[in-house]
């Protein structure tokens, strides 16, 4: 009896299992169709294009609407985020517009053979392929807008790179002449130092409106534009009066009379004039011209286009007079008995106004010779010290005066 109940229970379970299987096959998971909109088309094979010096320049963002058949359980796995279409462009070998077929690529949970395409809005997509060009050295230059405030100047911009690399469709990249960085100087009172973007321009300087297919190796460059204080300063010659000449007798010209300089505010604060040369009038016997490069303080830069300055000097209202003084009237100091003057007289040139020279005679001139301290045994000469009366406005020029000396051998 027990055995009979077990057999009946087994047969009942078998019947139920078969019934469930039949239900699942015929009712739960039958073949069906579904319509999916906006399935993204993914393009592959672009690396192969690059090997042929080509690139894709259109057709990447396309979608298709598809009707798909398959088991209902598989179709439930499909939507426009899990399903995509694949278009292969690797066989294209020249620029142009192409119609490319695509195939469905289901998710990993659905075998591609378990679904089939019933219909689609189109079984091909349109792509554009262009010649690829890479230019590694587009020159970079700087243009300025705005004006610096009064009292400020700028120096040449310093770029961290002189060129930039650009790549993309040849028809666009070939139009590029150079890259322009635009720097606004408005209100700048200190050095500008920043990472700046640039514009790509053609040979006429027109900014190019380039597509997104053009790639910049670096979208910015670092730019430094030194900005410093500026002022004009007077150039001055320091006149040392002497030789009968005073500043009233000097006709002086400095070309240019001023120069523009730049530097920090502290360096320029007290710099209103600059002495560029010292002139001792006792050494001037005729018109003189000097070319001088001004020696500027530390931290100050000459902004003039010409770094040198020309100084011209001449004396007016003065005359010269040659006066012969007997050596016998020369006072010998620290005398040495074995040394004798080798000349009978010395000619001294004095300079001054006509009135000053008229009242000056040979007897007014005092000459001394230090026979020990001012004697040079190598040249056998002694340097003379020439003095005019204290109240004389004339002066001695043409010195130093020297006399040859004879060494006398004692018997």
pLDDT tens string 251-275: 999 999 999 999 998 999 999 999 9
Per the structure, how many domains does the chain have? 4
Residue 2 has pLDDT above 60, yes or no: no
> What domain range includes position 74?
2-122
Residues 22 and 113 in one domain: yes
Euclidean distance between CA atoms 64 and 85, whole angstroms:
8
Q: Tell me, what's the pLDDT at 25?
A: 47
Question: What's the CATH code of the domain at 95?
Answer: 2.170.120.30
Query: Measuring CA to CA, which residue among 227, 248, 217, 41 is closest to residue 124?
Result: 41
Euclidean distance between CA atoms 411 and 335, whole angstroms:
19
Residue range 215-262, pLDDT digits in tens? 999 999 999 999 999 999 999 999 999 999 999 999 999 999 999 999
Residues 253 and 216 in one domain: no
Q: Does residue 237 sit within a domain?
A: yes
> Both tokens of residue 270?
């007290």
Q: Does residue 144 sit within a domain?
A: yes
Euclidean distance between CA atoms 103 and 84, whole angstroms:
9
Confidence category of residue 409, pLDDT binned at 50, 70, 90:
confident
Which element (helix H / strand E) includes 49? helix 46-51
* Helix, strand, coil share (%) of the chain residues, nearest 5: 15, 50, 35
- Report the SS3 class of residue 270: coil
Residues 301 and 372 in one domain: no
Residues 219 and 240 in one domain: no
Contact 259, 325 (CB under 8 A): no
Give Cα 281 to chain centroid, integer Å.
47
Residue % of the chain over a pLDDT of 90:
86
Mean pLDDT over 273-295 rounds to 95
Residue range 77-106, pLDDT digits in tens? 999 999 999 999 999 999 999 999 999 999
Residues 61 and 48 in one domain: yes
Query: Measuring CA to CA, which residue among 204, 158, 198 is closest to residue 182?
Result: 198
- Boundary-marking domain end, from 122, 152, 183: 122
Q: Tell me, what's the pLDDT at 373?
A: 95
Alpha helix positions (H), 233-317: 265-268
Query: Measuring CA to CA, which residue among 217, 186, 40 is closest to residue 125?
Result: 40
Q: Tell me, what's the pLDDT at 14?
A: 65
Q: Does residue 35 sit within a domain?
A: yes
User: Please, what is the Cα angle at 207 between 205 and 212, to 5 degrees?
Assistant: 145
- Boundary-marking domain end, from 62, 93, 122: 122
Mean pLDDT over 334-348 rounds to 93
Residues 325 and 311 in one domain: no
Residues 37 and 115 in one domain: yes
Euclidean distance between CA atoms 288 and 291, whole angstroms:
10
Q: Does residue 305 sit within a domain?
A: yes
- Boundary-marking domain end, from 172, 201, 225: 225
Q: Tell me, what's the pLDDT at 360?
A: 93
Residues 14 and 77 in one domain: yes
Euclidean distance between CA atoms 39 and 65, whole angstroms:
6
Q: Tell me, what's the pLDDT at 173?
A: 97
Query: Measuring CA to CA, which residue among 353, 343, 356, 351 is closest to residue 384?
Result: 343
Which element (helix H / strand E) includes 46? helix 46-51
Could you tell me the CA-to-CA distances from 273 to 224, 237, 251 in Å, in that order? 31, 10, 20
pTM given for the model: 0.64
Confidence category of residue 12, pLDDT binned at 50, 70, 90:
low
Residues 288 and 251 in one domain: yes
Q: Does residue 127 sit within a domain?
A: no
Residue 1 has pLDDT above 60, yes or no: no
Q: Does residue 88 sit within a domain?
A: yes
Residues 172 and 109 in one domain: no
Q: Tell me, what's the pLDDT at 305?
A: 85
Question: What's the CATH code of the domain at 187?
Answer: 2.170.120.40
Mean pLDDT over 13-41 rounds to 71
Q: Does residue 358 sit within a domain?
A: yes
Mean pLDDT over 368-390 rounds to 95
Euclidean distance between CA atoms 115 and 311, whole angstroms:
99
Task: Write down how long the chain is.
Answer: 411
Q: Does residue 353 sit within a domain?
A: yes
Confidence category of residue 408, pLDDT binned at 50, 70, 90:
confident
Residues 150 and 68 in one domain: no
Residue 306 has pLDDT above 90, yes or no: no
The segment with the largest mean pLDDT, out of 17-31, 188-202, 396-410, is 188-202
Residue located via tokens 């229970």: 9
Residues 182 and 214 in one domain: yes
């Amino acid at each position: 009896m027990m055995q009979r109940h077990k057999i009946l229970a087994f047969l009942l379970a078998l019947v139920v299992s078969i019934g469930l299987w039949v239900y699942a096959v015929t009712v739960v998971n039958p073949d069906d169709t579904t319509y999916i909109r906006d399935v993204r088309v993914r393009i592959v094979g672009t690396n192969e294009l690059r090997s042929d010096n080509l690139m894709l320049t259109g057709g990447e963002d396309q979608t298709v609407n598809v009707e798909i058949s398959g088991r209902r359980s598989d179709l439930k796995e499909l939507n426009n985020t899990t399903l995509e279409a694949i278009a292969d462009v690797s066989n294209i070998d020249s620029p142009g517009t192409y119609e490319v077929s695509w195939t469905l690529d289901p998710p990993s949970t659905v075998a591609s053979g378990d679904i089939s395409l019933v219909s689609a809005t189109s079984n091909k997509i349109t792509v554009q392929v262009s010649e690829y060009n890479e230019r590694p050295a587009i020159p970079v230059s700087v243009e300025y807008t705005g004006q610096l405030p009064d009292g400020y100047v700028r120096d040449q911009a310093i770029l961290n790179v002189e060129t930039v690399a650009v790549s993309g469709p040849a028809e666009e990249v070939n139009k590029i002449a150079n890259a322009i960085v635009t720097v606004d100087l408005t209100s700048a009172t200190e050095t500008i130092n920043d990472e700046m973007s640039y514009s790509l321009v053609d040979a006429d300087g027109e900014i190019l409106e380039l597509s997104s297919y053009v790639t910049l190796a670096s979208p910015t460059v670092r730019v430094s534009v030194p900005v410093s204080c500026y002022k004009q300063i007077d150039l001055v010659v320091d006149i040392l009066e002497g030789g009968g000449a005073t500043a009233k007798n000097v006709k002086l010209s400095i070309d240019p009379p001023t120069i523009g300089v730049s530097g920090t505010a502290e360096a320029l604060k007290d710099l209103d004039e600059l002495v560029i040369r010292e002139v001792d009038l006792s050494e001037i016997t005729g018109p003189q011209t000097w070319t001088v490069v001004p020696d500027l303080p530390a931290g100050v830069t000459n902004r003039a286009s010409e770094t040198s300055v020309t100084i011209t000097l001449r004396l007016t209202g003065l005359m010269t007079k040659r006066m012969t003084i007997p050596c016998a009237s020369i006072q010998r100091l620290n005398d040495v008995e074995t040394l004798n003057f080798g000349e009978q007289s010395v000619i001294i040139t004095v300079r001054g106004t006509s009135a000053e020279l008229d009242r000056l005679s040979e007897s007014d001139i005092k000459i001394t010779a230090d026979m020990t301290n001012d004697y040079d045994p190598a040249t056998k000469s002694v340097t003379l010290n020439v003095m005019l009366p204290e109240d004389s406005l004339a002066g001695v020029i043409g010195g130093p005066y020297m006399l040859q000396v004879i060494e006398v051998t004692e018997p």
